[in-house]
Amino acid sequence: MPAARHSALFLAAVGLAGGFFASLFGVGGGLLIVPLLILLAQVPSKRATGTSLAAIGFTAAFGALAYGILGEVDWSAAAIVGLPAVAGVLVGVWLQQRVSSRALVGLFAAFLVVIAVRLLL
């Protein structure tokens, strides 16, 4: 794979798009940042996933704060969803390190197609 292009301006644009879509639809990180890092910045898929998750931490914290101030967060539901998600992260990271990058990209693409079809139906 070619060397990754890590232009600060490009990465900032990816972050801006990710934050915009995260706040608008509740998604952005994995659905937007990962493909942009892989396709346009030529970041290897496993590194793009880790980088996206780290970046999402900022987006999630500020988004939760903004929506919390507006009274639009059910904190108990967030805890019920979020705490078990930590276990899912640990299992996902373990599995991701054992699957080829090509297979991961293919699985991710298939996942996006299934979600798109379901949303349209």
**Mean per-residue pLDDT, 103-112:** 90
**Mean per-residue pLDDT, 22-29:** 74
CA distance linking residue 38 with residue 40, whole number of Å: 6
Token duo for residue 28: 């952005």
CA distance linking residue 20 with residue 27, whole number of Å: 9
Tens-place pLDDT, residues 52-80: 999 888 888 998 999 999 999 999 999 99
What is the pLDDT confidence band of residue 29, given thresholds at 50, 70 and 90? low
**Start-to-end Cα distance in the chain:** 37
Query: Looking at the predicted structure, is the pLDDT value of residue 26 above 80?
Result: no
**pLDDT on residue 1:** 46
Token duo for residue 50: 């880790």
**Mean per-residue pLDDT, 12-23:** 83
Domain boundaries in the chain?
8-120
Tens-place pLDDT, residues 75-99: 999 999 999 999 999 999 999 999 9
Share of the chain above pLDDT 70, in %: 94
Query: Looking at the predicted structure, is the pLDDT value of residue 28 above 80?
Result: no
